[in-house]
Amino acid sequence: MAVGIFDSGLGGLTVLDAVSKRLPDVPFVYFGDNAHTPYGVRDAEDIFNLTTASVERLWDAGCDLVILACNTASAAALRRMQESWLPPEKRVLGVFVPLIEALTERKWGDNSPPREVEVKHVALFATPATVSSRAFQRELAFRAIGVDVEAQPCGGVVDAIEDGDEILAEALVRSHVEALQRRMPDPEAAILGCTHYPLMEETFQAALGADVRVFSQAKLVASSLDDYLKRHPEMRGAGTQSMFLTTGDPQAVSNKATQFLRRKITFQAA
């Protein structure tokens, strides 16, 4: 009954932490492609090939359902995977869906025409690859009208977080927020479109101001997964053990992950 969680690095651990608390009886297998992180500077074909190889490894671990806890992979590879690659008995879900649902206040399966929503000016902070894909804007446009999205590619933030350099990460966040505000001075909402960014949520909020509603993914994904598994209990895979897999050096990744989540995490070689 294991569920797979994939990320190019450690950011998906924020999602793992939230879903584990929400679904304590479900084993989760986490796969970090740390040897190839970050994905945010790669082209779409490279991201697709790396993502599919990682998902296949999670299938081998008994996970019929895999969450792409990587916005870059969700933006650049998920639609192609679902349309032309995915076997009928497997499921791969991205992390955009819960954000879109929260922002538009409508379920993903609601295929009624786009309609007006309360929030009109939205700031999107994401990796360069996620921004260039325009996946968030595309999915939002299917469901809402009259929403202005200003996207800010946040180069360097993921690397700083992965390196444990909190001072640099905070400085970069403030710089990226200032850059966005020069183009959109008064956003009503902000999307943290990378699973690393919840660790910087307080910094984003402080830089944006208390009046801006910040949407962070981890808790939204946990709630969405809980609902999905209730509706599709057959998608709980055959795996029975929680584990952490990495393409990188297990000891080095374990040390970073332990610092990242502030609890002991032990990775093994994928």
* CA 64 remoteness from chain centre: 19
Domains delineated in the chain: 3-95+218-269 (3.40.50.1860), 97-217 (3.40.50.1860)
pLDDT of residue 109: 62
- Residues serving a catalytic function are 70, 194
- Render each residue's pLDDT in the chain as its tens digit; 270 residues: 699 999 998 989 999 999 999 999 999 999 999 999 888 889 999 999 999 999 999 999 999 999 999 988 998 899 899 999 999 999 999 888 888 888 887 775 666 788 888 889 999 999 888 898 898 888 888 888 889 999 999 999 988 988 889 999 999 999 999 999 999 999 999 999 888 898 899 999 999 999 999 998 888 899 889 988 998 888 887 778 899 999 999 999 999 999 888 899 999 999
What pLDDT shows up at residue 123?
A: 96
At 184 the pLDDT is 97
Q: Where are the alpha helices (DSSP H) in 111-165?
A: 128-133, 135-141, 157-162
Identify the DSSP state of 236: S
- pTM score, whole prediction: 0.85
Question: Which of 64, 66, 113, 96 lies closest to 194 in space, CA to CA?
Answer: 96
